[in-house]
Amino acid sequence: MSEVAIGTLCLLCSLVLIQTGMHIGVALLLLSFVGVWAIKGLAVAGKLLASSVSTSIASDAYAVIPMFILMGLFVSVTNMGRDTFDVAAMLMRRIRGALGVATVAANAVFAACTGTTIASASVFTKVAVPEMIRHGHTPHFSVGVVAGSSVLGMLIPPSILMIIFGVIANVSIGDLFTAGILPGILLATAFCVTILLLAYFLPGFVAVDPKALEGVYRGTLAGASSVEMIKKVLPIVILVGTVLGGIYGGFFTPTEAGGAGALTAFLIALLRRELTLKTFWQVALETGRVTAAICFLLMAAALYSQMLTLSGLPYAVGQWLQQSNLGFLPVLIGYLLVLVVLGCFLDSVSIMLIVLPFVIPVFDSFGVNLVWLGLISIIAIEIGLLTPPLGLAVFVVKANLEDQRITTWDIFKGTMPMTLTMVAVLALCVLFPWLSLVLVGQRWSWW
């Protein structure tokens, strides 16, 4: 068997093993070790395995991972998400479909503190869905808005997916964070516009009773003064300002910003008296678990990338693409379609770890800007979080629902407008690379 055939077989087997339920890290390590063994022998495979474990994450830059995870967990165990939603709902009560828009706005702010889709989906399923249903919105619209807007957690910095992409593609994490601002704002705005259009043209999809769209707010802040609302939203504003203001103001590196954010979130939780010793211990344990899982994945990805390089598969594919004269655009469209399709079956991290070591050399041959590639890749992968049969964000929402009468199909039905909106935003970011690059001061275009 040729080396390219061995690499191809390992790639296909990794998809099969992950789909059967094997942990992504175990699958990649096992197949990469076997692949290197078949190509170069057992001694080389053992040395590369030891090297990937000892050196792949031996850098201070990886401290950003536990810091942002710790910050996100501190935010999740407090009521900052609920307070942000209440303030947004109160401020936007005059808008048609106000609670849907408020959910998107609150999720966008919350995303700047947590960096994960799962955290956003978990919190706002419990916070926003009961309120929207109580105000007369349809169940499928209520859960659809929460699931759809939760994907902002991976696009608006800080983002765990951006960190993983930066590590694998050797791209500045700070540049990825900065570049993600404009596309993140664009996607959040597009979600709000979609909700407004649905409220005006398909009111039956949005609300059981059309009167529910007339801007009547009966939440906890009804009749509250401006001072009360400022007190509610001030903690999360301070946290976002500390992290993003520190990075973009040049005061912190992303790693230092993670530490500053974790400390700020800890102090806010203490001042709000929402952090007990038991809760702190749970947060610390969960931070350790998630960090260990991500580091294990990065070790596996390092060995997987080395196996693919030894097999010559990325080079062979690059040569085939050049000889076939397909051009850059067909290759890009095919790549994005693969990401969306894989998103229907695999989680985001698995897709990134499997696909990126394979495709980065191919896009390097086209001279692609990797910051732009990272952002459009994240958007395409996140589309898969809302599509059947897996739809990770959908199942997170389902798991956190208190109303078990709402089915998984109801959630998929509600997310369909959000999915189409994401496809439109992805097309815009592909057609106009400056949307992703203008804030980092880079110029590049495939036109």
In a domain, 309, yes or no: yes
Please give the single-letter amino acid code of residue 27: A
Domain extent, residue 286, equals 3-440
For 354, residues 6+ apart whose C-beta sits below 8 A from its C-beta are 11, 14, 15, 18, 24, 28, 304, 342, 346
Alpha helices in 249-347 (DSSP H): 254-271, 277-311, 313-324, 328-343
In a domain, 445, yes or no: no
Query: Residue 136 burial (CB < 10 Å; 0-12/13-18/19+)?
Result: middle
User: What per-residue confidence (pLDDT) applies to 53?
Assistant: 75
Does 158 sit behind a cis peptide bond, omega within 30 degrees of 0 on the bond before it?
A: yes
Name the domain count of the chain.
1
Q: Judge contact between 356 and 298, C-beta under 8 A.
A: no
3-class secondary structure, 224:
coil
User: What per-residue confidence (pLDDT) applies to 26?
Assistant: 85
For the chain, the helix, strand and coil percentages under 3-state DSSP, each to the nearest 5: 80, 0, 20
Q: Looking at residue 170, what DSSP letter applies?
A: T
In a domain, 430, yes or no: yes
Q: Judge contact between 141 and 184, C-beta under 8 A.
A: no
pLDDT < 50 stretches in the chain: none
Query: Residue 316 burial (CB < 10 Å; 0-12/13-18/19+)?
Result: middle
In a domain, 447, yes or no: no
User: What per-residue confidence (pLDDT) applies to 133?
Assistant: 83
Q: Judge contact between 425 and 186, C-beta under 8 A.
A: yes
User: What per-residue confidence (pLDDT) applies to 338?
Assistant: 86
User: What per-residue confidence (pLDDT) applies to 219?
Assistant: 62
Provide the b/e sequence for 32-69 (b: ≥16 CB within 10 Å). bbbbbbbbeeeeebeebbeebbeebbeeeebebbbbbb
Q: Judge contact between 159 and 177, C-beta under 8 A.
A: yes
User: What per-residue confidence (pLDDT) applies to 390?
Assistant: 66
Residue with tokens 């060995």: 303
Reported as a single tens digit per residue, the pLDDT across 219-264 is 666 667 778 888 888 888 888 888 878 877 778 887 788 888 889 9
Alpha carbon distance, N-terminus to C-terminus of the chain: 40
Query: Cα(402)–Cα(327) distance, rounded to whole angstroms?
Result: 50
Q: Judge contact between 297 and 354, C-beta under 8 A.
A: no
Query: Cα(434)–Cα(372) distance, rounded to whole angstroms?
Result: 9
Reported as a single tens digit per residue, the pLDDT across 39-96 is 888 888 888 888 877 777 777 767 778 888 888 788 878 878 778 777 877 777 777 7
Does 389 sit behind a cis peptide bond, omega within 30 degrees of 0 on the bond before it?
A: yes
User: What per-residue confidence (pLDDT) applies to 194?
Assistant: 95
User: What per-residue confidence (pLDDT) applies to 189?
Assistant: 94
